Amino acid sequence: MELLVLRALHVMGGVFWAGGGIYATLFITPALMAAGPAAGPIVAEMQRRKLFTVLPIVAILTMLSGLRLLWIVSGGFSAAYFGTTQGLTYAVAGGASILGFFLALLVSRPAGVRLAQIAATLDSLDPAARAAALETTARLKRQAALGSAAAIWLLTIAVGGMAVARYL
């Protein structure tokens, strides 16, 4: 029974996390960037709907259920299991997703939050301050894009590994 609950939680959470993350990075974020100031109300509505709270919570549940599953299938993280191709694949894929989570959390998210703050104050700034803010904005956009690109590569490795590990 525990296995069934863990697997259901893990697979549904993983689909939501990886699918949502990849879709947002490849399509939603570039569309919002292209929209410029018009993106403000859309991001505010996403915030109101708690997207930026729900996504990390689902990711944490996926990681915790994954770690528990790994504990079970490896017989308590036995070294012998991680010596098999299957064990190694689950470990690398799981590790990649955890790394992707921290990249998104510590690199992309702070840049996104700062960008939203700057966008909200931009109109009230004098020309010199505005020019400086726009420079900061360009740097933050690069930081967010780099972090998100690396995170979705890691998520892709995670999903690919999880998909095939059982048959290795």
CB of 90 to ligand HEM, least distance (A): 4
Cβ-based nearer residue to ligand HEM, 71 or 135: 71
- Interface with ligand HEM includes 67 (CB under 6 A)? yes
- Interface with ligand HEM includes 66 (CB under 6 A)? yes
CB of 145 to ligand HEM, least distance (A): 20
Q: Which of 12, 61, 70, 145: binder of ligand HEM (CB under 6 A)?
A: 70
SS3 (DSSP) at 47: helix
Q: 151: how many CB neighbours lie within 10 A of its CB?
A: 24
Rg (the chain; Cα; Å): 19
Provide the Cα torsion 16, 18, 21, 26; round to 10°: -120
Spatial separation of the C-alpha atoms in residues 77 and 84, rounded to whole Å: 12
CB of 11 to ligand HEM, least distance (A): 4
Site for ligand HEM (CB under 6 A): how many residues? 22
What letter does residue 105 receive in the DSSP assignment? Answer: I
- Interface with ligand HEM includes 150 (CB under 6 A)? no
Q: Which amino acid is at 168?
A: L
- Interface with ligand HEM includes 98 (CB under 6 A)? yes
Find out whether 81 and 75 touch, Cβ atoms under 8 Å. yes
Query: Of the ranges 36-44, 65-73, 102-110, 119-127, which one interacts with ligand HEM (CB under 6 A)?
Result: 65-73
CB-facing half-sphere around the CA of 23: CA atoms within 13 A: 7
Q: Which of 1, 9, 2 is nearest to 65 (CA)?
A: 9
Cβ-based nearer residue to ligand HEM, 51 or 119: 51
**Residues in contact with ligand HEM by the rule CB under 6 A:** 7, 10-11, 14, 17-18, 62-63, 66-67, 69-70, 73, 90, 94, 97-98, 155, 158-159, 162, 166
